[in-house]
Amino acid sequence: MPQELMYLTKEWRDEAERRLKNELTPEKMNFITSSMSNIYLNCPDGKNKYLFFKFVDGKLDTLALGEGEPPDAEFRISGDYQVFAMISRAELGSQKALMTGKLKLKGNMVKALKLAAIADRLNKVLSQIPAQY
């Protein structure tokens, strides 16, 4: 693997998928079945991008990276690219970003709060990928 991958590129996505599948067991993910679209606004290239996660019985089923409108998901989280980059570098917690309005959530807030620890596990794995932002 190269020293650093460019954040939100195909290569970064491929490494993220490999690590998530290897490190997040169904037990660690509480056997959840859920989906989430992260929508990155104001990316350095001037475009908006998305990262779509789908877990089935606690296993990563789909990790899709794209531009434009993301696939339908149980949770839709949108925010500035720099906020997501801070979360991916473990400089900002996702819960704090949501509670302070840096990220916007569409979906069941009660369920989202129950899944917060699982989202933190996912973000911890992503934060370990050497990346350029």
Rg (CA), the chain: 14
Give the pLDDT of residue 2. 56
Give the pLDDT of residue 1. 52
Block mean pLDDT (10 aa), the chain, length 133? 86 97 95 96 96 97 96 96 92 90 93 86 93 93
Q: 5-132, what's its fold? A: Nonspecific Lipid-transfer Protein; Chain A (3.30.1050)
Q: In sequence order, what DSSP letters do the residues of 18-71 get, joined into one string?
A: HHHHHH--TTTTTT--EEEEEEEES-TTS--EEEEEEEETTEEEEEEEEESSPP
Domain ranges for the chain, please list them: 5-132
Give the pLDDT of residue 63. 98
